[in-house]
């Protein structure tokens, strides 16, 4: 029979899932949790541990030095770093090997080093494509970056703000040439976005220890200079989705005197293919050491006036 005394004291039989008055805390939860707990335990047991980012093999020392140099100058110019792509690098190495094998014949014939002949030994489709997309030099790989930065047409793609990855391939030769080094600077470009404002200046504003001399290149951006000696190129490169017109520019030394320059623009250039969307000044003589120069560039960008003034200081 029911305990009437218990009922008179206000107690009543607990319904399923209801905690009795005075029962220990957690009693009702113990009745309800086992199915949930079992499912949770099974889920945790079957879940894979978080995956760590997969890192590729470390770069060879020479490759790492080249990448470090490229990203150092890109940082100075205010653009992001790039990575080295393995497939692109394999194609660059193939083109470098092709050039080394046929270097003398190509030089005598005046053949472009950015091409491959399908009839010649060492030709590959990938190598030919890499040749068309690469900066090429004939010195030790890390030194090649310095040479490209001292030029005009080979500097421009290295500082492209949109560039995400490069290919790097090289082979060691004999005395002539001692090296062949290729860096693919075009294949790693993504599709252009609508961000139109970015302009890359080099030397950058407030940059110090800037070299003094134009490094020379083929084709030359200063064909009217008989001795091909000039100052370290000064460039302002616009994104290729904008139209740059009516560009003018000046270079002044620390006294405010205007320096005679070779000026090339997207509208007026010695080599349209290499110039791209760049305004370039090359002093007609090497720059003076330990001197602060002021650059002024005026242009119309998509029909609107644009002006930039910046300064840099040369090395002692």
- Residue pLDDT, tens place only, 82-97: 999 999 999 999 999 9
Q: Please tell me the least confidently modeled range out of 22-31, 65-74, 87-96, 199-208.
A: 22-31
Note the pLDDT of residue 5: 40
Chain segment 151-201, per-residue pLDDT in tens: 999 999 999 998 999 999 999 998 889 999 999 999 998 876 656 678 999
Q: How confident is the model at residue 56 (pLDDT cuts 50, 70, 90)?
A: low
Cα-based angle 105, 107, 110 (whole degrees, multiple of 5): 105
Integer-rounded Cα radius of gyration of the chain: 33
Average pLDDT for the chain:
85
Q: Are strands 304-314 and 292-301 parallel, antiparallel or unpaired?
A: antiparallel
Instruction: Give all strands of the β-sheet with 83-84 in edge-to-edge order.
Output: 83-84, 165-172, 179-184, 134-137
Chain segment 87-138, per-residue pLDDT in tens: 999 999 999 999 999 999 999 999 999 999 999 999 999 999 999 999 999 9
Is pLDDT larger for residue 309 or for residue 197? 309
Q: How confident is the model at residue 53 (pLDDT cuts 50, 70, 90)?
A: very low
Note the pLDDT of residue 190: 82
Note the pLDDT of residue 29: 37
């Amino acid at each position: 029979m029911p305990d009437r005394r218990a009922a008179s004291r206000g107690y009543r039989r607990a319904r399923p899932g209801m905690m009795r008055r005075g029962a220990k805390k957690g009693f009702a939860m113990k009745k309800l949790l086992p199915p949930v707990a079992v499912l949770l335990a099974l889920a945790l047991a079957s879940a894979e541990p978080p995956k760590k980012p997969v890192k590729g093999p470390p770069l060879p020392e020479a490759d790492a030095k080249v990448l470090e140099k490229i990203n150092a100058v890109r940082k100075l110019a205010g653009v992001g770093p790039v990575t080295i792509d393995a497939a692109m690098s394999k194609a660059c190495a193939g083109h470098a090997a092709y050039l080394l094998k046929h270097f003398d014949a190509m030089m005598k014939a005046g053949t472009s080093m950015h091409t491959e002949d399908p009839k010649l030994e060492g030709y590959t489709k990938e190598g030919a494509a890499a040749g068309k997309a690469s900066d090429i030099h004939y010195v030790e790989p890390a030194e090649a970056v310095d040479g490209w930065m001292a030029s005009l047409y080979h500097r421009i793609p290295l500082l492209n703000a949109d560039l995400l990855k490069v290919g790097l391939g090289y082979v060691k030769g004999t005395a002539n040439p001692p090296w062949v080094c290729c860096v693919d600077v075009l294949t790693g470009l993504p599709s252009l976005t609508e961000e139109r404002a970015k302009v890359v200046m080099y030397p950058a504003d407030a940059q110090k220890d800037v070299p003094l001399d134009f490094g020379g290149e083929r084709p030359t951006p200063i064909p009217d200079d008989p001795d091909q000696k000039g100052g370290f190129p000064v460039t302002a490169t616009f994104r290729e989705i904008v139209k740059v017109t009516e560009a003018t520019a000046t270079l002044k030394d620390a006294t405010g005197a205007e320096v005679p320059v070779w000026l090339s623009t997207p509208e007026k250039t010695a080599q349209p293919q290499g110039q791209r969307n760049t305004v370039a000044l090359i002093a007609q003589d090497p720059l003076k050491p330990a001197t602060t120069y002021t650059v002024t560039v005026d242009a119309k960008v998509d029909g609107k006036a644009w002006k930039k003034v910046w300064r840099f200081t040369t090395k002692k």
